[in-house]
Structure 1
Amino acid sequence: MSLKHAILGLLDLRPRTGYDLKKAFDDTARHFWAADRSQIYRTLAGLHADGLLEERVIAQRSRPDRHEYRLTDDGRAELQRWLRSPAPVEPSREAFLARIFFAGQADDPEVVRTLAGERRALAHERLDELRALTAHTDTFAGRLRALTLRAGILHLETELRWLDEVEAAL
């Protein structure tokens, strides 16, 4: 998946500003795709230059103008093309697992305990955030979004159980 397609998908739901997109990522999609503000704005500029988005400038009196983006027909077609294309197996890159893998070279179980404890705290924090999200299941699209949220929760619950195994192995 690319950030480009995630943005097209979010804009297909409704027009948004770059700020709105960042909030949407944080509130709805962060369990499977994260993006920082600068990545979002760079990608928006590229999508606009490629004719996949149109931009509407909304003047505001006491604040900077809002730049709202919406899909063009070409943008909607690109999103549909991507949705119908085969999903590639993406290589996994997990810095935390690499640290655990090589932690034996330190020959100090405390290094692993510290890594696992920090990761456990982050997983609990993220799990609380995901459990606080509401998923509306009254439509097909809503049920699919709820299922991706459930996948995020299950991944974190599994990771917490795995961290129990790591700590037990020490």
Structure 2
Amino acid sequence: MSLRHAILGLLDLKPMTGYDLKKTFDDTARHFWAADRSQIYRTLGALHADGLLDEHVIRQRSRPDRHEYRLTEAGSAELDTWLRSPAPTELPREAFLARVYFAGRAEDPQLVRKLVDERRALLRRRLDELRALEAPTTTYPERLRAMTLRNGIVHHEAELSWLDELEEAL
């Protein structure tokens, strides 16, 4: 998946500004996709230049103008094409697991315990954040989005369980 398609998908839900997109990523999609503000704005510019988005400038008196983006017909078609295309195999990259994998060279069990403690704290924070997200389930699209949230929760819970196993193995 590319940020390009994630943005098209979110803008298919409703028109948004770059600021709104960042907030939406953080509030609804961070369990499967993260993006920083500069990546979002860069991608919005490219999508607009490619004719996949329309930009509507909303003038404001006491604040900078808002630039709200909407899908064009071409943007909607691009999103449909992506949705119907085969999903590529995405190989994971996980810095934490790489550190655990190579930590034996230090011959220092405390190093691994520190890594585990830091990871557990991070996962617990993220799990709390995910559990706090609102996930309406009235419509079919809402149920699908809620199930992606559930996937994020289950993955975090599974990794926390695995961390317990790792500690026992030490």
Alignment partner of 1:81 is 2:75:
no
Task: Give the aligned length.
Answer: 170
- The amino acid of 1:161's aligned partner reads S
Specify every segment of 5 or more residues in structure 2 that has no aligned partner in the other structure, as ranges: none
SS at match of 2:62: coil
TM-score, scaled relative to structure 1 = 0.99
Alignment partner of 1:71 is 2:71:
yes
SS at match of 1:16: coil
Question: CA–CA distance in 2 between the matches of 1:116 and 1:25?
Answer: 27
Q: Write out per-residue CA displacement over residues 100-135 of structure 1, whole angstroms, 9 at most, x where no aligned residue.
A: 000000100000000000000000000000000111
Counting aligned pairs with the same residue, the percent is 75
State the match for 2:122 in structure 1.
122
State the match for 2:9 in structure 1.
9
Question: CA–CA distance in 2 between the matches of 1:106 and 1:34?
Answer: 32
Counterparts of residues 5-154 of structure 1 (less than 5 Å):
5-154=5-154
- The amino acid of 2:76's aligned partner reads R
Question: CA–CA distance in 2 between the matches of 1:136 and 1:66?
Answer: 28
Specify every segment of 5 or more residues in structure 1 that has no aligned partner in the other structure, as ranges: none
Question: CA–CA distance in 1 between the matches of 2:62 and 2:126?
Answer: 36
TM-score, scaled relative to structure 2 = 0.99
Q: Write out per-residue CA displacement over residues 37-61 of structure 1, whole angstroms, 9 at most, x where no aligned residue.
A: 0000000000000000000010100
Question: CA–CA distance in 2 between the matches of 1:112 and 1:101?
Answer: 10
Q: Write out per-residue CA displacement over residues 54-78 of structure 1, whole angstroms, 9 at most, x where no aligned residue.
A: 0001010000000000000000000
SS at match of 1:70: strand
SS at match of 2:68: strand
Cα shift at 1:151: 0.2
